[in-house]
Amino acid sequence: MSRKTMRERPFEYLRRQQTGEPFSQETIKNWYVARSFVLERLKQISFAPGSNQHLNVVIDGDSPLMLAVLRHVALYSHYPNFIEYDALGHLACLNRTCITLISNRDADAIVADLKSEECLCNLLDYCKLTVYGVVQNADSYLDIEVEIAHQTAEGNECVHLSETDVKSFLESQSDESVYTIDTRKAVYASKVYMLGAVIDNVPYEDINGAGRYTQALDTFQYRVLRDTKDMQLASPSEWSTRPMASRNGLSNIFCSDCFASRELAIKSLCPNYDKLGVKERQDLWEEYNNQLSLSEHNRWTVEKLIMGFKPLSCRQRTEYESLFETKRVAYGKLLKNNAASAAHIDICSYRDLRRIDPNSLKYDSFLMLAIPHILGKVR
Report pLDDT for 154: 65
Report pLDDT for 194: 82
- Cβ burial, residue 115 (10 Å; 0-12/13-18/19+): middle
What is the identity of the amino acid at 377?
A: K
Q: Which of 91, 74, 21 is nearest to 254 (CA)?
A: 74
Report pLDDT for 338: 95
pLDDT, tens only, 240-274: 788 788 999 999 999 999 999 999 999 999 999 99
Report pLDDT for 211: 80
Percentages (nearest 5) of helix, strand, coil residues in the chain: 50, 10, 35
Report pLDDT for 243: 79
How far apart, in whole angstroms, are the C-alpha atoms of residue 344 and residue 363? 16
Report pLDDT for 3: 47
How far apart, in whole angstroms, are the C-alpha atoms of residue 174 and residue 26? 18
Helix H or strand E encompassing 67? helix 64-76
Q: Three-class SS of residue 17?
A: coil
Q: Three-class SS of residue 343?
A: strand
Report pLDDT for 379: 86
Q: What are the backbone dihedrals phi and psi of residue 360, each rounded to the nearest 5 degrees, phi first? A: -70, -25
**Full pLDDT tens readout for the chain, 379 residues:** 344 577 999 999 999 999 999 999 999 999 999 999 999 999 999 999 999 999 999 999 999 999 999 999 999 999 999 999 999 999 999 999 999 999 999 999 999 999 999 999 999 999 999 999 999 999 999 999 999 999 987 667 899 999 999 999 999 999 999 999 999 999 999 999 888 778 888 887 778 777 888 888 999 998 899 887 778 888 777 887 887 889 999 999 999 999 999 999 999 999 999 999 988 999 999 999 999 999 999 999 999 999 999 999 999 999 999 999 999 999 999 999 999 999 999 999 999 999 999 889 999 999 999 999 999 999 8
Neighbours of 378 (CB within 10 A): 15
Report pLDDT for 157: 83
pLDDT, tens only, 150-165: 998 766 789 999 999 9
| Domain regions of the chain by residue span | 23-172, 178-378
**DSSP structural state of residue 157:** -
